[in-house]
Structure 1
C-alpha cells in the first residue's frame, strides 16, 4: 500500500501526511517555501515538482526510504469534525471547483436527485436553505462511509483517523499531530524542530484557502447546522476522530480541543 497522501520536502527536512480539509494547502506551501524561498505559483496540489508527493512516481522511493527509517520529523494536522464536514459540504458540494465545474462531474446531480439536496447557483448568489441541504448531505456522507453506497467515501469526508492510520500501518511514526484551530502554535513547533534550507517566518505566511470564494458563504454559526439527528450521524462517522484528537462531540459550538493528543494512544489504536 505504501504511503498514500504523504508529502516530503525535497531536502527531506520534514514529512507530512495530508488530511484533506485540514489546512493542507497552507502546509504544502510552507513546505515548498522552506526549500525554495518562494511559494508555488498556483494551488500546491497541482505542483508536479519542488515537493515530493506519493502520487508522483519519482517520489515514491525517497518517501518510502525516509518514512521506513523514520529519518525526518513526520507530522500531520487535524480539525474539528463538525467544522470539517461542513467545510467539505460548502467547498465540494456547493462550490465551483478550480476547473470551473462541479466536483466529480455527476456527483451533485446525483445528490439532487437521490437526496433532495440544493446547492444554489452562482448566477443567483447561491440562495438556498443551507441547513436543510447540509443535513441531507450528512445522510449521503453516512451512506458512503457505512455502506459504501451510492459510492465509496470521498477523501474530503472520510474520517481523519483513516487518513492518519495509513502511515502508521505501513511502518511510519508521527512525531507531531496538531490542530488547525491552533495552527500557528502547532506549525511553529514543527519548524522549530527541523532545519530548513530557507528560513520560514510563520507570522508572514498567508493562509492558502484554495476553495474560498468559489461557493456560497456559510450563513449561520457551525452549531446551527447540527440538530440531534445530525450530531448522531456525525458521531457515527467520526467517533474515532472525536476521541483520538480530543474534540468535543457534545457541543458543536466548541471548535477547540478539550485535551492533549496522546501520540502513543494514536499509534496503538490506529496501528492495527
Structure 2
C-alpha cells in the first residue's frame, strides 16, 4: 500500500509485480526506487513489515482505498518461474533457496544450464520434468511445500478476500498498459504517472538462460493436462484458454463477483 493510502495492491508473484511496485512507489514519491523494489524497506507499506500490518489491515477491512491485483496466463507464468527460479542465478549471486535447485536436479533429473545458467541444455525436457515437481509440491506438498512463484494465482488472491478485503479491479498483465491505466484513472496520487514514458522493471531478466522456443513448444499433451490440473481455477476465474498454450490472451472478461464468491470461502 502506498504511504498516502491512495491504493492497495495484492502482490501476485510473476505477474509484473516489480513494475507495479515501482509505479506505486513513483506515484507517492515522484521517483522510482533505486534498486529492486522487493528490497525496499521504506516508501511503501508491506505486509512483511510488522509496522505496516495494522495500517494495511485497517485500510483493507474498511475498504478505505482502491484495491487491485494483476494476473498472468498460467502457461507463461509457470514457464517464467522455471527460467527465473530454477535455472537462474538470483540477484544475491546464489541459486534460489539454497539447496532447492540441487535437490530438484537430483530428484527429477533436471538440467539448468550449468553453474551460470548459460550452457546449452534441453530446455523442453527439463521444463517438463520441473512441471512434475511443481505439481507434486502443489498436489501433495512433497518433496516440499509449493513456492510462492508457482503456487496458484487464485490462492494468492483469495487470502486478501478471506481476510476482509474486496478487489475493485483485477487486470491481465498481457494488457498491462490498459489495465494499469484503468487503475490510475480511478485513484488520486500525489504524483501523476505517465505510463507511456516509464520503463519496465523486469527484475528476473538476465538471471537465467534465454528461452529458446515459443511458449507452446514446452507443453505436450501431458504437460497441458498437468497445467490444467494445477491451475484449473486460475484458468476459469481469469478467463485464459487451458488447451492452447500459444494463446496468451484472455478469452473473456473477469467477473469480480464470481472471483469474490468462489475465493471467499
Distance 1:181 1:116 in 2: 32
Q: For residues 119 and 192 of structure 2, what CA distance do their matches in structure 1 show?
A: 42
In the alignment, the residues of structure 1 paired with residue 241 and residue 118 of structure 2 have an alpha-carbon distance, to the nearest angstrom, of 33
Distance 2:51 2:100 in 1: 32
Structure 1 residue 206 corresponds to structure 2 residue 203: no
Q: 2:157 aligns with which of 129, 152, 164?
A: 164
Question: Is this contact kept in 1: 2:134–2:146, CA < 8 A?
Answer: yes
C-alpha spacing 1:160/1:124, structure 2 compared with 1 (3 Å):
closer
Pairing 1:75-224 to 2, within 5 Å after superposition: 75-121=68-114, 125-224=118-217
Residues 128 and 219 in structure 2, CA contact (< 8 A), matched pair in contact too: yes
4+ long deviations beyond 6 Å? none
Q: Over residues 33-56 of structure 1, what are the superposed CA-to-partner deviations in whole Å (9 max), with x where a residue is unaligned?
A: 000000000000000000000000
What's 2:5 paired with? 12
Partners in 2 of 1:163 and 1:124 — Cα distance?
Answer: 29
Q: Which residue of 1 aligns with 2:230?
A: 237
Structure 2 regions of 5+ residues with no counterpart?
none
1:3 is matched with which residue? none
TM-score by length of 2: 0.99
Select 2:64's aligned residue among 52, 63, 71. 71
In structure 2, the residue matched to 1:265 is 258
Q: Tell me how far 1:57 sits from its aligned partner.
A: 1.0
For residue 4 of structure 1, what is the aligned residue in structure 2? none
SS of aligned partner of 2:70: strand
Q: What's the Cα RMSD here?
A: 0.8
Return the TM-score normalized by structure 1.
0.96
